[in-house]
Amino acid sequence: MTEAPEAIRTQLVWNRLLAIVEEQAQTLMRTAFSTVVREAGDLSAGVFNTEGEMLAQAVTGTPGHVNAMAASVGKFLNRHPLATLGPGDVLLTNDPWDGTGHLNDFTVVTPIFHCGRPVGLFASTSHIADVGGRGFGPDASQVFEEGLNIPIGFLFRAGEPNQTLLSILAANVRDPVVAQGDLYSLAACNDAGGRELLNTLNDFELTDLDRIGQAILETSERAMRREIAALPDGRHHYEMRVDGYDAPVDLRATLTIAGEAMRIDFAGTSGLSRFGINVPLPYTQAYASFGARCIVGNDIPNNAGSLGCIAVSAPPGCILNALPPAAVSARHAIGQMLPDVVLGCLEQALPGQTPAEGASCIWNPVFLGAGLGLDAQGDNSASEDFVINPIFNGGAGARPAKDGLSTTAFPSGVRTTPTEVNEATSPLVIWRKEYRPGSGGAGQFRGGHGQIIEIAHREGAPFHISKMFDRIRFPARGRAGGAPGQPGRVYLKDGPDLSGKGKDLVPAGAVLVLETPGGGGMGDAGERDADAVRADMQAGIAAEDCVTSAPSEQV
């Protein structure tokens, strides 16, 4: 085949792969049992070559899942080489260090065979609401307390489910139907991707993906290296202090650009926490590389070729390279802050081209039934047993020449779970959910606003909340003279403030209030366009004085 037709065929196959992995992700969402997957898109999906290198990822999904999963498939193949696998085999794990960072994420890998030969693999990850133990939250001191840890092994063998594994899972979780159902949904979405891959091979008269897959990765790598080479060489430092659990956490990064190479090193970052906010290195690498890709090469396909151009390291034993048996359940509370740190470094290399700090970490409480308690009248009441994990968001930082996006999950990209779904799947009522006026930092371009949510039990019974919130003590800082966003707050209406992390009881009859943080502003507020000020005031989202509070305590 001549060079031009071969290039056209490669492009057509690439387009098909993108469509296939998106269909894979949509299949996962349509069949998932967990609300956070079905409604919020807390998942990842991708296709890999026979070496375990990611060729394409679905647009639907989170960077933490996608980029960590990209590194995990090779670990599956190290444990179970393709030569030992056959049609109908499906592998899985939720090990935080072999998967995507905590026990609630299950990664499922399915090899695909064509004419008796392996031609690729499909992998998918989704968040399962409960894996036993203490439940999803930051309170454990070791990973052993956080739930059931399943090493890389078989979910299906020659098409037959691993009943022993499924029985162990059912005996260790609070809702076995949901947990088992989500594993089947992960296998189903990989199967859907595999069928379409085989159709693609037949349509294009291919026997494998080797040649075209290599061309895809080489093209992506070359393009990414050109993007890095266009940057000025240099070393750039940035640091950010966040709330932590019982003590603040300092995140320090050095970004080095040298020719076609980019390296991000987190030396100097705080050590391990005694609680479950520690981050395994794959999750650190996932979000740090994503932060760089937001500015550098953001239109280049996200695959093994482009991801391999950015090296990310952190000293073993620091909070960003937690080793077993560190507790890691709430690793997102720290890990989702890393893009802001990397963007702070890139601002020095590319002045005026990066957004200000934002709320960053999603506010995803876990609400649980409290068991026997007191109802609103003070009588004994057996509270309904339930577990839900809704997602609420704060504001993103102001962008170059644009306001920050309000109530937006940057960097995770997950959607807010609808109020109607939260109320239909629990005995809770969300009485109020609206923008938090003035929470975005002032500036020529203001930060995005957070929101105010009021929640109570429908019958006035007590319930528990497990909190993994940040930006309460140390809000998002502005850039180029912009003001910080407002810090977040958690409290009982007409009652005390609660801490940002840990499990608390919401007493019978009480109303819980969440105020999510705002994003930092950018530039001098005195230079803000008058029409933009009027628009905020007419929408009822401007602060009374159009200026946020004084700068926050920082490093």
Residue 477 neighbours by CB distance under 10 Å: 24
The pLDDT score that the predictor gives to residue 542 is 87
The pLDDT score that the predictor gives to residue 515 is 98
Per-domain residue ranges of the chain? 3-220, 355-555
Q: Residue 160 burial by CB count (10 A; 0-12/13-18/19+): exposed, middle or buried?
A: exposed
Residue 223 has pLDDT above 50, yes or no: yes
Residue 376 has pLDDT above 50, yes or no: no
List pLDDT tens digits, range 296-333: 999 999 999 999 999 999 999 999 999 999 999 999 99
Instruction: Find, among 437, 443, 453, 399, the residue nearest to 518 by Cα.
Output: 437
Residue 48 has pLDDT above 90, yes or no: yes
Cβ contacts of 143 within 8 Å, gap of 6 or more: 96, 103, 149, 324, 325, 326, 327, 328
Outline where 294-388 has alpha helix (H): 304-307, 332-335, 338-349
Residue 93 has pLDDT above 70, yes or no: yes
List pLDDT tens digits, range 396-455: 999 999 999 999 999 999 988 899 999 999 999 999 999 999 999 999 999 999 999 999
Report the chain's mean pLDDT, rounded to a whole number.
93
Task: Give me the residues paired with residue 91 across strands.
Answer: 109, 154
What whole-number distance in Å separates Cα of residue 410 and Cα of residue 339?
Answer: 9
The pLDDT score that the predictor gives to residue 30 is 96
Residue 382 has pLDDT above 70, yes or no: no
Residue 380 has pLDDT above 90, yes or no: no
Instruction: Find, among 401, 412, 543, the residue nearest to 484 by Cα.
Output: 543
The pLDDT score that the predictor gives to residue 3 is 66
The pLDDT score that the predictor gives to residue 387 is 87
| In the chain, % of residues over pLDDT 70 | 95
Residue 260 has pLDDT above 80, yes or no: yes
List pLDDT tens digits, range 207-219: 999 999 999 999 9
Under DSSP, is residue 250 helix (H, G, I), strand (E, B) or coil? strand
- In which band, very low, low, confident or very high, does the pLDDT at 548 lie, cut at 50, 70 and 90? very low
List pLDDT tens digits, range 14-30: 999 999 999 999 999 99
- In which band, very low, low, confident or very high, does the pLDDT at 74 lie, cut at 50, 70 and 90? very high
Cβ contacts of 274 within 8 Å, gap of 6 or more: 141, 245, 246
Whether pTM > 0.85 for this model: the answer is yes
222 vs 379 pLDDT, higher one: 222
What whole-number distance in Å separates Cα of residue 188 and Cα of residue 539?
Answer: 45
| In the chain, % of residues over pLDDT 90 | 90
- In which band, very low, low, confident or very high, does the pLDDT at 383 lie, cut at 50, 70 and 90? low
The pLDDT score that the predictor gives to residue 378 is 46
- In which band, very low, low, confident or very high, does the pLDDT at 543 lie, cut at 50, 70 and 90? confident
The pLDDT score that the predictor gives to residue 370 is 83
List pLDDT tens digits, range 167-209: 999 999 988 999 999 999 999 999 999 999 999 999 999 999 9
